[in-house]
Amino acid sequence: MAVQPPPADQRIVIENVAIATVDANDTEYARGHVVVLGNKIESVGNGPAPQWLDNVVRRINGEGHLVTPGLVNTHHHFYQWITRGLAQDNILFDWLVALYPTWARIDDKLVHAAAQGSTAALLKSGCTTASDHHYVFPKDGGDILGAEIEAVQELGMRFTALRGSMDRSKKDGGLPPDHAVEKTEDILIASEAAVDKYHDASFDSMLQIAIAPCSPFSVSTELMREAAVLARRKGVRLHTHGSETAEEEQFCKELFGMGPTDYFESTGWLGEDVWMAHCVHMNDSDIAKFAETGTGVAHCPSSNARLAAGIARVPDMLRAGVPVGLGVDGTASNESGELGTELRNALLINRLHGRPDALTARSSLRLGTMGGARVLGRQNEIGSIEVGKLADLALWKIDGIMHSSIADPVAALTLGALPPLALLLVNGNAVVEKGNLTTVNEDKIAQACARAAKELASREV
């Protein structure tokens, strides 16, 4: 059952707390307050909150804590929660070939369990909004998209569900096995039906839909073009994988006679309503085209490292004006499943370019908040702590042994170990308290995921 919004007239007050608003001016308060009214931020500022406020259901003393916007995850594959720890030493193409046969045997019940595991890991690491790219729909798999959405709603996370797809199998020169793909016409019908059934474009929407063919090496050019037309007709966003590996670039040149970015441009896949996952192998011309068109990037530092894909040119993208957010990616290539730890990994990995200021503590936090909000097209609603925005907030405990001697509260979050999560509000609701989920039993989720992983493994032939 979906978590319901709080009463519109109730208030939650957090005060005596360090605040990183991540607004346009990077406003911070060493000792300030945030007031939540219903599901929106009513006020934020220096010093204590007013004492005369009515209907305050919680007044939290934030001494020794940092409050930030909730983190925003721009790329994931929730179903992979039940295939973690496999193909540990492979590059992307070999990893996919090894795992496609297993993934082709999933169904709605297994996906429900996996989605709850993935969502739990995200929430417990400070993530309040996530997108998930699901592209495997076996013929007898049941209502997989519906099962995933139900799983997320039960935990209370804000969600963009991506109706993914594959129609280019081995026989057509792609990577997926023949039984793992769908027909192009069926994909377009199912994608439009998903938008019609689930997409909520309202300001405080908890569920949106985007259309997301999987990748150039698993999708036909016809599907890419028709998906772009469909998404723009329905007013929803577009997502796919792009420029993830050197092998992908070579694949595109051999099959299409051009690199990934030029291919995307030729199929109508550059624009402010589009974002790509990874974008590791981008030259200056590619970055310029993304900047000119407002095409976004989901930067997945841990997954890129796990699959030896390379280091994305994030500092160059940011300087050019490309919208960039953070992504966990699927947990078969990032077993932790945490978004909070990506703040530190992004900062450190991007400094391997040899520039100590490639990313800073604050630019890394911006990637994980406002950057992600912009990539998902929700920068007016989430991503910063500002009056009128939605009450998606993370309260981090930074006065414990691991953080108390770090001089800068933001550095405690982005350079130190991931701090304990004291409270996570999504839409004004407390979904994590003292590191624990409030809406579901974590032990039951863990047990269900273990059973699902064993069941899926037993289905292999």
Q: Assess if residue 6 is contained within a domain.
A: no
pLDDT tens digits for range 248-305: 889 899 989 999 999 999 999 999 999 999 999 999 999 999 999 999 999 999 999 9
- Judgement on whether residues 219 and 280 belong to the same structural domain of the protein: yes
pLDDT score, position 178: 84
Last residue of a domain, one of 330, 351, 376: 376
pTM of the predicted structure, to 2 decimals: 0.97
- Judgement on whether residues 318 and 355 belong to the same structural domain of the protein: yes
Residue ranges in the chain modelled with pLDDT below 50: none
Last residue of a domain, one of 330, 352, 376: 376
- Judgement on whether residues 298 and 363 belong to the same structural domain of the protein: yes
Q: Assess if residue 36 is contained within a domain.
A: yes
The answer to whether 399 and 18 have CB atoms below 8 angstroms apart is no
pLDDT score, position 173: 82
Token pair, residue 300, equals: 């997945």
- Judgement on whether residues 182 and 193 belong to the same structural domain of the protein: yes
- Judgement on whether residues 407 and 343 belong to the same structural domain of the protein: no
- Judgement on whether residues 357 and 406 belong to the same structural domain of the protein: no
For the chain, percent of residues with pLDDT exceeding 70:
100
User: CATH number, domain at 177?
Assistant: 3.20.20.140
pLDDT tens digits for range 103-158: 999 999 999 999 999 999 999 999 999 999 999 999 999 999 999 999 999 999 99
Q: Assess if residue 447 is contained within a domain.
A: no
Q: Assess if residue 146 is contained within a domain.
A: yes
Q: Assess if residue 102 is contained within a domain.
A: yes
The answer to whether 110 and 189 have CB atoms below 8 angstroms apart is no
- Judgement on whether residues 94 and 187 belong to the same structural domain of the protein: yes
pLDDT score, position 461: 54
- The tally of domains found in the chain comes to 2
- How many helices (DSSP H) and strands (DSSP E) are in the chain? 15, 17
- Judgement on whether residues 81 and 61 belong to the same structural domain of the protein: no
The Cα 341–Cα 90 span in angstroms is: 23
- Judgement on whether residues 324 and 430 belong to the same structural domain of the protein: no
- Judgement on whether residues 259 and 181 belong to the same structural domain of the protein: yes
Q: Assess if residue 448 is contained within a domain.
A: no
Q: Which domain holds residue 22?
A: 11-69+388-437
pLDDT score, position 174: 82
User: CATH number, domain at 54?
Assistant: 2.30.40.10
- Judgement on whether residues 209 and 242 belong to the same structural domain of the protein: yes
CB contact set of 112 (below 8 Å; sequence gap of 6+)? 147, 148, 150, 151
The Cα 335–Cα 455 span in angstroms is: 19
Residue from 361, 415, 421, 354 nearest 394 by CA? 421
The Cα 137–Cα 144 span in angstroms is: 7
pLDDT score, position 170: 86
pLDDT score, position 176: 86
Last residue of a domain, one of 341, 356, 376: 376
Q: Assess if residue 459 is contained within a domain.
A: no
Burial of 44 (0-12, 13-18, 19+ CB in 10 A): buried
Centroid of chain to Cα 333: 14
DSSP string for residues in 242-269:
ES--HHHHHHHHHHHSS-HHHHHHHTT-
- Judgement on whether residues 130 and 209 belong to the same structural domain of the protein: yes
Q: How many residues does the chain have?
A: 461
Q: Assess if residue 415 is contained within a domain.
A: yes
